[in-house]
Amino acid sequence: MSLLSLTDVHSFYGHIHALKGISLTVEEGEIVTLIGSNGAGKSTTLRTVSGLMHPGSGRVEFDGRDISRMEPHAIVAAGLGHVPEGRGIFPTLTVRENLEMGAFTVRDPEAVRERMAYGFELFPRLKERIDQHGGTLSGGEQQMLAIARGLMMQPRLLMLDEPSMGLAPVLVELIFDIVTMLNDKGVTILLVEQNALMALSVAHRGYVLQNGELVLNDTAANLRRDPLVRTAYLGMA
Amino acid sequence: MPPFAAVNIRELIRPIGQLLLFSLGSAGVLSALVLVLALILDQTAVGLHLHDRYNVSLATYTLVNLPQVVIDGLTIGFVYAAIALGYTMVYGVLEFINFAHSEIFAVGAFVGVELLIALDHTGLLRSASLGMAYAYLTLALLMGMAAAGALAVTVERVAYRPLRGAARLVPLISAIGVSFLLQDVIRLVEGLTTGQFNRIMPTFGNFDRRIMLGRLALGDTTVPLGISVKSIIVITAAVLMLAGLNYLVNATRMGKAIRAVAQDRATASLMGINVNRIISLTFLIGGLLGGAAGVLYALKFTRIDPFVGFFPGLKAFTAAVLGGIGNLTGALLGGIVLGMLETFAGSFLGVFTMGAAGSEYKDIFAFSILILVLVFRPQGLMGRHVGQKA
């Protein structure tokens, strides 16, 4: 049984048909990436999974449970984390408070402390900024905070939406190293990226989205060699 | 350091100090303004007129009356502040103005007063010792709060939540509908039971006593300076509630969740925060504060009717706008400024205009402020959001 599976999912923004029958799976322990150009429906797919929007039709299952009608907070509690596009840092909550919010469902203060310490281990920079407002952090620090916050609930599946957006190359490397490391520790990852090269270098498998439809589905290695992917997403001839 | 710190006394006391400082500051500024005005008017017919009648200059008259005006202004200011917080909290989280909040206030007032009237009928109030009198008043306050809080949560659930996805004007119209509905429900219930719409707060305890602070000489006579026990109760209760709210919003898990929801509802839900529950909590807190303000208002002004919420509600809304709607500190300060300004106007308008415009025109000031702020500084004085630390 797949950890996450979407079956013929259609999603709409008003009258705009954003997802036109998406079917995909993520197995436990995998890194799966979703690549595609702007407006292809990558973020919409994540939003439909995490309950920020509900599918018009089709089924979303997490760990064997139908979650297509559930509210986001309940989906989170089931173990599915979503670091949203644009990072979603609370600008006037401090770094500490942002992390506390990530552990909102965790009632044991000792566990919260431990996980926060783990986040600081991953991103020591955050510890230096602990009492600073989230809105005063740089883009890179905000992305670190978003990931650290996403880990506070210890999700079984972590969905990352464009973690490399707007970051300097050295930070992009760091973020992807951490993604790989988290996966080694057993976190399943669904990664949405415009930076297809980076995404395909860390992922096991990938899906290519175009205009709300999946056009390719293969291992990352095969996708890197695919002519369509090479010309359209990797900028190679 | 623990992530969810235990009650921190300093965090609780600091805002009270700031509040008092701000109150004194705004009182000082307004007093100075009024005094300057009095000194100028002293040179005109207004000053002469007063001098002829009372053998005292306008400046002296003003100076001698100022302390009492400040005390009265603070009292009503804190009531406005407590109501304004209800508007501003809901606005911060939903960007929606709950125009039914004035009736939430009114229901709080009626429940509190009805309870005391019932106690009065049993004779308990008359025979009550001072301690019991305060216990009954506290009970009335708590009942008014509970009723208003429950009502606010219900109104949100029934009349606003189903409209959450609709255009922004729609829930606003619904709120106005709820406001009229509640007014008539109060009128109906109160009318059915006694045939009368209005209620009078029973007199008991020592609440009507004035504590005399001294007498100030004014020409041939003296002016008493005192503070009624009522005013002390109103100010104390309001300050305690406001400090409690400040603590709740800034230092507790639920308070942080309220701020998170106010800043970014979608991301908050991704944290596992049940957004609907936080919205209910916000209405509950606003309702509790509004209900308490209602009972305190009834204590101070004695007579209430089904429309009692209208003007205090509008003024508290003005206070919230003045402070920057969505901003908790702003609502607090806006309430104090507005209450003070209104009392200053009410006290000095008559004598400054030789009786041409009496205190009944004091509302001109409140609503001129509303218009001026909306035109020239729509983000208000503080101009930030409820998500901001208060």
Distance from CA of B148 to the nearest CA of A (A): 28
Among the partner-chain residues A81, A90, A113, the one whose CB lies closest to the CB of B263 is A90
Picking from B3, B256, B270, the nearest residue to A113 by CB comes out as B3
Length of chain A: 237
Give pLDDT tens digits for A128-180: 999 999 999 999 999 999 999 999 999 999 999 999 988 899 999 999 999 99
How far is B343 from B353, CA to CA, in rounded Å?
16
- Tell me what percent of the residues of chain A surpass a pLDDT of 70: 99
Closest CA to B308 of B108, B169, B174: B108
pLDDT digits (tens, 9 = 90+) for B212-228: 888 877 777 777 888 89
Concatenating the DSSP letter of every residue in B141-194 gives HHHHHHHHHHHHHHHIIIIIGGGTTS-THHHHHHHHHHHHHHHHHHHHHHHHHH
> Average pLDDT of A92-114?
95
Tokens of A53: 């929007």
ipTM: 0.94
Q: Which of A76, A97, A112 sits opposite B272 (nearest CB)?
A: A76
pLDDT value, residue B57: 81
Instruction: Note whether B264 contacts A: Cβ–Cβ < 8 A.
Output: yes
Delineate the domains of chain B, giving CATH numbers in brackets.
Answer: 9-376 (1.10.3470)
A92 Cβ contact partners less than 8 Å away, ≥ 6 residues apart = A133, A134, A135, B259, B263, B385, B387, B388, B389
Contact state of A109 with B272 under an 8 Å Cβ cutoff: no
Per-residue confidence band for B7, with pLDDT thresholds at 50, 70 and 90: low
DSSP characters over B237-277: HHHHHHHHHHHHHHHSHHHHHHHHHHH-HHHHHHTT--HHH
Q: Find, in chain A, the residue whose alpha carbon is nearest to that of B251.
A: A97
Spatial distance between the Cα atoms of B253 and B245, rounded to a whole number of angstroms: 13
Residue pLDDT, tens place only, A31-61: 999 999 888 999 999 999 999 999 999 999 9
Among B3, B257, B267, whose Cβ lies nearest the Cβ of A88?
A: B267
- Contact by Cβ (8 Å): B273, A104: yes
The predicted pLDDT at position A237 comes to 56
Mean pLDDT rounded to a whole number for chain A: 94
Decide if B106 contacts B184 (C-beta within 8 A).
Answer: no
CB contacts of A72 in chain B (<8 Å) are 266, 269-270
Residue A235 has pLDDT above 80, yes or no: no
> Which residues from chain A sit within 8 angstroms of residue B263, using beta carbons?
90-93
How far is the CA of B286 from the CAs of B11, B137, B140, in angstroms?
21, 21, 18
Strand B199-200 with B303-304, pairing = antiparallel
Whether the CB-CB separation of A34 and A43 falls below 8 Å is answered with no
Residues of B in contact with A91 (CB under 8 A): 263, 387
Q: Are A199 and A193 in contact (CB under 8 A)?
A: yes
Q: Chain B: nearest CA to A224, how far in angstroms?
A: 32
Cβ within 8 Å, pair A100-B256: yes
Amino acid symbol at B140: A
Residue of B265, B267, B328, B384 to mutate for A, most A C-beta atoms under 10 A: B267
Those residues of chain A whose CB sits closer than 8 Å to some CB in chain B are: 50-52, 71-73, 76-77, 81-82, 84, 88, 90-93, 96-97, 99-105, 109, 112-113, 116, 149, 153
Helix H or strand E segment including A155:
none
Residue B11, pLDDT above cutoff 80: no
Report residue B126: phi and psi, to 5°.
Answer: -65, -35
Alpha-carbon dihedral sign for residues B123, B125, B131, B132 = positive
Confidence class for position B389, pLDDT limits 50, 70, 90: very low
Q: How far, in Å, are A23, A83, A199, B83 from residue A194 at the CA level? A: 20, 15, 8, 49
Q: For residue A117, give how far its alpha carbon lies from the nearest alpha carbon of chain B (Å).
A: 11
Q: The tokens 């025109």 sit on which residue?
A: B361
Contact A153 B272 (CB under 8 A): yes
- Cα A45 to its chain centre, rounded Å, is 11
